[in-house]
């Protein structure tokens, strides 16, 4: 299949929030004025040098950026091919890339005078990041979390509570991330005047996919500079896991127009693509949910199907709309890794590098194990190590047949 490729992959979205046919603003009328207000507020913030300066200050001194680009020597030796670097997002304050985006959105919320912050969370990392920034800036914080996820991510639930947030378990639907997002939207529609909805990934109605991408793009911008410093050139390939896809978009976006850079996104194949999984590109088709058009897991009637992944953070039946477009354009190669492959990579990375990765980036590491051996030794590969694995220890222990 040949696709007409654009001159640049970095110009989207258009003024109505579309990436090709994807994206858009599919929300109830009650929310539409709020979405337009946010778009305006974000555009003003983006154009204000004082906003960026304030952000940079917090990114350095509170988040701990830049995160290192680390040469994973023993993982490289094990694979016997490409030279593998880890972008160490797990070293950020709160233990994942999520904080980059939350900091940005909370700064926008403050400019808008909003005092009440709501968020949805799957694994709890976005919830923890939101609770953290709300504590730091003295804002009320309510986190919606599927009841199933509350059960399987107990340490993060407790962290959020310690940080002063209220965690509301969601009992509707499948009781996971998509239902948490439904419930957050229901809250927003009810509390329009004082509430800011802090979305955790590159999805939702415009301007969220663009705004979250912009805040996460610091990952890719730093990687460019750091690789230049370490190797004197650009990397040859990038690889990241994808649920909604914010860590991946953050790494990929600054490189989209460097055609020499191969880009791989890894979805969660759960029990395998013929069973229960969360791979929207591999197993879904375009539809409309949560404010945007994108690839969704659904049945023939357009009813959303249950996703499954061992990793709560990837357990979502959709994907960010810009990823959907990059897939159709052929710019990003979408792969998938099963629960078992991710578990294997999780253990291997822990033992070889002394880094316990979250189960989410373990999916990316699983595909590194496939791809890296086939590449020459001078091939520079960057894996986004988007989060740390402490939150997953109970899940992993259970899968290995034990308990903590």
Partner 1 sequence: MTTRIDKRFSELNKQGRAGLVTFLMAGDPDHETSLAIAKALPKAGADVIELGMPFTDPMADGPAIQAAGLRALKAGATLKKTLALVRDFRKGESDTPIVLMGYYNPIYTYGVDKFLVDAKAAGVDGLIVVDLPPEEDEELCLPALKAGLNFIRLATPTTDDKRLPAVLMNTSGFVYYVSITGITGAATPQADKVSSAVARIKRHTKLPVAVGFGVRTAEQARGIAAGADAVVVGSALVDALRSSLDKDNKATAGTVKAVTDLVASLAEGVRLARRVAAE
Residues that bind partner 1 (CB under 8 A): 16, 24-34, 172-173, 178-179, 182, 185-186, 189-192, 287-291, 293, 296, 298, 300-304
Report, in Å, the least distance between residue 258 CB and partner 1. 34
When the beta carbons of 301 and 378 are compared against partner 1, the nearer one is 301
Does 8 participate in catalysis according to the annotation?
no
When the beta carbons of 26 and 51 are compared against partner 1, the nearer one is 26
When the beta carbons of 264 and 316 are compared against partner 1, the nearer one is 316
When the beta carbons of 304 and 368 are compared against partner 1, the nearer one is 304
Report, in Å, the least distance between residue 35 CB and partner 1. 9
Six-digit token string for 14? 């258009």
Does 375 participate in catalysis according to the annotation?
no
Backbone φ and ψ of 287, nearest 5°: -160, -175
Rounded Cα gap, residues 237 and 229, in angstroms: 17
Given the residues 83, 89, 90, 98, select the one marked as catalytic: 98
Given the residues 120, 222, 267, 353, select the one marked as catalytic: 120
When the beta carbons of 254 and 320 are compared against partner 1, the nearer one is 320
C-alpha of 387 from chain center? 10
When the beta carbons of 31 and 141 are compared against partner 1, the nearer one is 31
Residues in the chain: 404
Report, in Å, the least distance between residue 180 CB and partner 1. 11
User: CB–CB of 199/177 below 8 Å?
Assistant: no
3-state SS class at 96: strand
C-alpha of 337 from chain center? 16
Rounded Cα gap, residues 70 and 88, in angstroms: 7
Report, in Å, the least distance between residue 54 CB and partner 1. 30
User: CB–CB of 180/146 below 8 Å?
Assistant: yes
Rounded Cα gap, residues 95 and 102, in angstroms: 13
Element spanning 128, H or E? helix 125-137
Given the residues 90, 267, 386, 391, select the one marked as catalytic: 386
What radius of gyration, in Å, describes the C-alpha atoms of the chain?
19
Does 386 participate in catalysis according to the annotation?
yes
Centre a 10 Å sphere on the Cβ of residue 312 and count the other Cβ atoms it contains.
Answer: 29
Report, in Å, the least distance between residue 194 CB and partner 1. 11
Measuring CA to CA, which residue among 187, 178, 112 is closest to residue 145?
178
Report, in Å, the least distance between residue 14 CB and partner 1. 12
Q: Hey, which residues are catalytic here?
A: 98, 120, 386
């Amino acid at each position: 299949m040949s696709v007409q490729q654009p001159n640049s992959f970095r110009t989207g979205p258009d003024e109505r929030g579309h990436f090709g046919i994807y994206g858009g603003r599919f929300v109830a009328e009650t929310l539409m004025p709020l979405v337009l207000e946010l778009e305006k507020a974000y555009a003003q913030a983006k154009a204000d040098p004082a906003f960026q300066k304030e952000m940079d200050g917090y990114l350095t001194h509170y988040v701990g950026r830049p995160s290192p680009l680390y040469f994973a020597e023993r993982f490289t030796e094990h694979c016997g091919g490409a030279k593998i670097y880890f972008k160490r997002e797990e070293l950020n304050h709160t233990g994942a890339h999520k904080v980059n985006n939350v900091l940005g959105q909370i700064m926008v919320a403050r400019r808008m005078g909003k005092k009440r912050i709501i968020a949805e969370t799957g694994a709890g990392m976005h919830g923890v990041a939101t609770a953290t920034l709300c504590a730091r800036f003295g804002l009320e914080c309510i986190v919606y979390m599927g009841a199933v996820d509350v059960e399987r991510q107990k340490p993060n639930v407790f962290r959020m509570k310690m940080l002063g947030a209220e965690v509301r378990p969601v009992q509707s639907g499948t009781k996971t991330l998509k239902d948490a997002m439904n419930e957050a939207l229901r809250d927003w529609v009810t509390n329009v005047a004082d509430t800011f909805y802090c979305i955790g990934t590159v999805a939702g109605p415009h301007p969220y996919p663009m705004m979250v991408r912009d805040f996460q793009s610091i990952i890719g911008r730093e990687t460019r500079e750091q690789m230049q410093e370490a190797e004197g050139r650009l990397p040859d390939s990038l690889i990241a896991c994808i649920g909604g896809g914010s860590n991946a978009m953050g790494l990929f976006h600054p490189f989209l127009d460097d055609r020499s850079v191969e880009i791989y996104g890894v979805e969660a194949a759960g029990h395998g693509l013929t069973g229960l999984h969360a791979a929207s590109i591999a197993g879904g088709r375009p539809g409309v949910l949560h404010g945007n058009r994108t690839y969704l897991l659904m049945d023939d009637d357009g009813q959303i199907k249950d996703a499954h992944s061992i990793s709560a953070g990837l357990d979502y039946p959709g994907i960010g709309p810009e990823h959907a477009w990059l897939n159709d354009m052929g710019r990003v190669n979408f792969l998938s890794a099963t629960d078992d492959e991710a578990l294997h990579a999780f253990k291997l990375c822990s033992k070889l590098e002394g880094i316990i990765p979250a189960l989410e980036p373990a999916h990316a590491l699983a595909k590194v194990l496939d791809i890296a051996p086939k590449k020459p030794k001078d091939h520079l590969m960057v894996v986004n190590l988007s989060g740390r694995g402490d939150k997953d220890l109970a899940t992993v222990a259970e899968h290995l047949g034990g308990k903590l």
